[in-house]
Amino acid sequence: MTLEDIKQHISQWNEVRTTNQALPLLTQGISFSITEDQFLIWEALQPETLNCYLAVEDSKIFFYITDSVTDKNESYTPGTNLIKKNLFREVSEETPIALSLIENAVDEISATEAKTRILNWVLFAESWFTEIKDKATEIPRAISIPFVDLKEAFSKDVTNVTIILALNKYNEEAYKGYNMDLIVVSNSPFNTVDDTNQSFIAFYDVCRPKPPFGQSGLNLLDS
């Protein structure tokens, strides 16, 4: 995969994102995973964000992901610091997490809020898209994840984390209304004092869909 191929796939999403072709693409899957090895490559550069670009090839949607330092310097190495991530139809096929287990989260957002945003996407993605499909300034081309969220997620002694599509109601000066969201999920097994295996689930989220939250620093986008 060449860099020109990657830019073309990202451009293809831009061409269809305000058309009726976009909705079947957006609902092809709901999650992807990031491995610890991939995380460590990005962490070495101490980036502020992980930039997740929506892309399309052969009627399939996926993300190209890179860190903000690599993006700023345009020092991409496809397959190393610029990774393709296909969407899974389940919460994750690599790290299965049942929604019924979302109960005792800590940190950025509560378990109830995480579950609500995920279910909003599952149930209402179609109505959300129908309402804003003609608004190019609101349909995302990329979503940025604060890298600190990933650092926290991987601090829980896990080898991968799950990223789940969601629908969030933003209420900020820059944007008010529902839009796409990504929730970082860390699912860490641990033993209790009586050696009973338990699962500790944490949720992190201060992601920004771009647009509507600007497009600065996203150098894989065309004009």
Count of domains in the chain?
1
The answer to whether position 216 is within a domain reads no
The answer to whether position 215 is within a domain reads no
Q: How many CB atoms lie within 10 A of CB 34?
A: 24
DSSP label at residue 35: E
Question: What mean pLDDT do residues 108-124 have?
Answer: 87
pLDDT at residue 216, as a whole number: 87
Question: What mean pLDDT do residues 52-70 have?
Answer: 97
Tokens standing for residue 82: 């610029």
Collapse the DSSP code of 217 into the 3-class scheme (helix H, G, I; strand E, B; otherwise coil) and give the result.
Answer: coil
The answer to whether position 180 is within a domain reads yes
pLDDT at residue 72, as a whole number: 96
208 pairs with which residues across the strands?
Answer: 144
Mean pLDDT, the chain, whole residue set: 85
The answer to whether position 223 is within a domain reads no
| CA torsion through residues 124, 152, 109, 113, sign | positive
The pLDDT tens digits for 128-171 are 999 999 999 999 999 999 998 888 888 877 888 889 999 999 98
The answer to whether position 220 is within a domain reads no
The pLDDT tens digits for 8-41 are 999 999 999 999 999 999 999 999 999 999 999 9
Q: At 223, is the pLDDT very low, low, confident or very high (cuts 50, 70, 90)?
A: low
Q: Judge contact between 105 and 111, C-beta under 8 A.
A: yes
Q: How far apart are CA 14 and CA 61, in angstroms?
A: 12
In this predicted model, which residue has the larger pLDDT, 87 or 223? 87
Q: At 47, is the pLDDT very low, low, confident or very high (cuts 50, 70, 90)?
A: very high
The answer to whether position 121 is within a domain reads yes
Confidence (pTM): 0.88
32 pairs with which residues across the strands?
Answer: 163
Q: How far apart are CA 122 and CA 114, in angstroms?
A: 13
The pLDDT tens digits for 182-222 are 988 886 554 444 444 444 566 666 789 999 998 889 999 98
Domain extent, residue 71, equals: 3-210
How do beta strands 49-57 and 197-204 pair?
Answer: unpaired
- Residues with Cβ < 8 Å from 30, sequence gap 6 or more? 87, 88, 89, 90, 91, 118, 121, 122, 164, 165
| CA torsion through residues 33, 38, 44, 45, sign | negative
Question: What mean pLDDT do residues 101-114 have?
Answer: 62
The answer to whether position 218 is within a domain reads no
The pLDDT tens digits for 143-155 are 999 998 888 888 8
The answer to whether position 222 is within a domain reads no
